[in-house]
Structure 1
Protein backbone atom coordinates (compact mmCIF):
# COMPACT_ATOMS: atom_id res chain seq x y z
CA UNK A 1 0.00 0.00 0.00
CA UNK A 2 2.83 2.41 0.80
CA UNK A 3 4.37 1.97 -2.65
CA UNK A 4 0.95 2.49 -4.27
CA UNK A 5 0.41 5.69 -2.31
CA UNK A 6 3.86 6.87 -3.39
CA UNK A 7 2.94 6.13 -7.01
CA UNK A 8 -0.32 8.00 -6.54
CA UNK A 9 1.60 11.01 -5.21
CA UNK A 10 3.93 10.91 -8.21
CA UNK A 11 1.00 10.86 -10.67
CA UNK A 12 -1.63 12.69 -8.60
CA UNK A 13 -2.19 15.35 -11.28
CA UNK A 14 -2.67 12.64 -13.92
CA UNK A 15 -4.32 9.67 -12.16
CA UNK A 16 -4.94 7.97 -15.52
CA UNK A 17 -1.18 7.38 -15.61
CA UNK A 18 -1.50 4.97 -12.66
CA UNK A 19 -0.83 1.54 -14.09
CA UNK A 20 -0.19 -1.99 -12.95
CA UNK A 21 -1.01 -2.92 -9.39
CA UNK A 22 -1.21 0.66 -8.08
CA UNK A 23 -4.85 1.42 -8.98
CA UNK A 24 -5.90 -2.11 -7.97
CA UNK A 25 -4.29 -1.78 -4.54
CA UNK A 26 -5.77 1.69 -3.98
CA UNK A 27 -9.21 0.33 -4.90
CA UNK A 28 -8.71 -2.72 -2.65
CA UNK A 29 -8.15 -0.33 0.27
CA UNK A 30 -11.11 1.83 -0.81
CA UNK A 31 -8.81 4.79 -1.45
CA UNK A 32 -10.19 7.28 -3.96
CA UNK A 33 -7.59 8.62 -6.36
CA UNK A 34 -9.27 10.73 -9.01
CA UNK A 35 -7.74 14.10 -9.94
CA UNK A 36 -10.37 16.19 -8.16
CA UNK A 37 -10.25 14.36 -4.84
CA UNK A 38 -10.37 16.60 -1.78
CA UNK A 39 -7.10 16.57 0.18
CA UNK A 40 -8.94 15.28 3.26
CA UNK A 41 -9.92 12.16 1.30
CA UNK A 42 -6.67 11.66 -0.60
CA UNK A 43 -4.89 8.31 -0.44
CA UNK A 44 -2.02 10.07 1.33
CA UNK A 45 -4.06 11.12 4.37
CA UNK A 46 -6.40 8.13 4.36
CA UNK A 47 -3.39 5.80 4.13
CA UNK A 48 -1.76 7.56 7.08
CA UNK A 49 -4.95 7.07 9.08
CA UNK A 50 -4.74 3.32 8.36
CA UNK A 51 -1.22 3.14 9.80
CA UNK A 52 -1.78 5.49 12.73
CA UNK A 53 -5.03 6.04 14.60
CA UNK A 54 -3.86 9.50 15.62
CA UNK A 55 -2.43 10.39 12.21
CA UNK A 56 1.11 10.50 13.52
CA UNK A 57 3.64 10.59 10.72
CA UNK A 58 6.29 9.10 13.02
CA UNK A 59 4.29 5.86 13.18
CA UNK A 60 4.28 5.60 9.39
CA UNK A 61 7.98 6.43 9.15
CA UNK A 62 8.80 3.65 11.61
CA UNK A 63 6.61 1.19 9.71
CA UNK A 64 8.39 2.03 6.46
CA UNK A 65 11.82 1.74 8.07
CA UNK A 66 10.97 -1.67 9.53
CA UNK A 67 9.48 -2.86 6.23
CA UNK A 68 12.52 -1.70 4.24
CA UNK A 69 14.93 -3.30 6.70
CA UNK A 70 13.02 -6.57 6.48
CA UNK A 71 13.24 -6.50 2.67
CA UNK A 72 16.99 -5.95 2.75
CA UNK A 73 17.65 -8.68 5.32
CA UNK A 74 15.59 -11.27 3.40
CA UNK A 75 17.77 -11.03 0.28
Structure 2
Protein backbone atom coordinates (compact mmCIF):
# COMPACT_ATOMS: atom_id res chain seq x y z
CA UNK A 1 0.00 0.00 0.00
CA UNK A 2 1.40 3.38 -1.03
CA UNK A 3 0.89 6.20 1.44
CA UNK A 4 1.35 9.82 0.49
CA UNK A 5 1.87 12.59 2.98
CA UNK A 6 2.51 16.29 2.67
CA UNK A 7 4.66 18.12 5.16
CA UNK A 8 4.74 21.89 5.07
CA UNK A 9 7.16 24.06 6.97
CA UNK A 10 8.73 27.49 6.70
CA UNK A 11 12.44 27.60 6.00
CA UNK A 12 14.99 30.35 5.74
CA UNK A 13 15.14 31.88 2.24
CA UNK A 14 18.90 31.27 2.01
CA UNK A 15 18.47 27.59 2.87
CA UNK A 16 15.71 27.27 0.28
CA UNK A 17 17.88 28.94 -2.37
CA UNK A 18 20.84 26.65 -1.67
CA UNK A 19 18.63 23.54 -1.63
CA UNK A 20 17.02 24.56 -4.91
CA UNK A 21 20.45 24.97 -6.53
CA UNK A 22 21.54 21.53 -5.31
CA UNK A 23 18.33 19.81 -6.40
CA UNK A 24 18.50 21.49 -9.82
CA UNK A 25 21.87 19.79 -10.33
CA UNK A 26 20.53 16.42 -9.22
CA UNK A 27 17.64 16.53 -11.65
CA UNK A 28 14.15 15.10 -11.40
CA UNK A 29 13.93 11.96 -9.29
CA UNK A 30 10.27 10.97 -9.52
CA UNK A 31 9.16 11.21 -13.15
CA UNK A 32 11.17 8.73 -15.23
CA UNK A 33 10.54 10.53 -18.53
CA UNK A 34 11.56 13.89 -17.04
CA UNK A 35 14.68 12.30 -15.56
CA UNK A 36 15.61 10.72 -18.90
CA UNK A 37 15.22 14.06 -20.68
CA UNK A 38 17.29 15.82 -18.01
CA UNK A 39 19.98 13.12 -18.14
CA UNK A 40 20.22 13.24 -21.94
CA UNK A 41 20.51 17.03 -21.79
CA UNK A 42 23.35 16.73 -19.25
CA UNK A 43 25.16 14.17 -21.44
CA UNK A 44 24.81 16.44 -24.48
CA UNK A 45 26.07 19.37 -22.42
CA UNK A 46 29.17 17.34 -21.51
CA UNK A 47 29.72 16.26 -25.10
CA UNK A 48 29.46 19.87 -26.28
CA UNK A 49 31.92 21.12 -23.63
CA UNK A 50 34.84 22.75 -25.48
CA UNK A 51 37.37 22.13 -22.69
CA UNK A 52 40.05 19.51 -23.40
CA UNK A 53 39.48 15.97 -22.14
CA UNK A 54 41.18 14.90 -18.91
CA UNK A 55 43.16 11.63 -19.10
CA UNK A 56 41.59 8.71 -17.21
CA UNK A 57 44.71 8.20 -15.08
CA UNK A 58 44.65 11.82 -13.90
CA UNK A 59 40.97 11.57 -12.93
CA UNK A 60 41.55 8.28 -11.09
CA UNK A 61 44.51 9.75 -9.17
CA UNK A 62 42.51 12.85 -8.25
CA UNK A 63 39.58 10.86 -6.86
CA UNK A 64 41.87 8.37 -5.11
CA UNK A 65 43.30 11.35 -3.21
CA UNK A 66 39.80 12.60 -2.40
CA UNK A 67 38.71 9.16 -1.15
CA UNK A 68 41.82 8.88 1.03
CA UNK A 69 41.22 12.36 2.48
CA UNK A 70 37.58 11.52 3.19
CA UNK A 71 38.59 8.29 4.95
CA UNK A 72 41.15 10.16 7.05
CA UNK A 73 38.55 12.75 7.95
CA UNK A 74 36.15 9.97 8.96
CA UNK A 75 38.88 8.35 11.08
CA UNK A 76 39.02 5.24 8.91
CA UNK A 77 42.15 5.95 6.92
CA UNK A 78 45.81 5.43 7.60
CA UNK A 79 47.70 8.27 9.21
Instruction: Specify the TM-score bucket, using the shorter chain as the normaliser.
Output: 0.3 to 0.5
Q: Which has the higher contact order (CA 8 A, sep 6+)?
A: 1
Structure with greater helix percent: 1
Normalised to the residue count of structure 1, the TM-score between the two structures is 0.34
Normalised to the residue count of structure 2, the TM-score between the two structures is 0.33
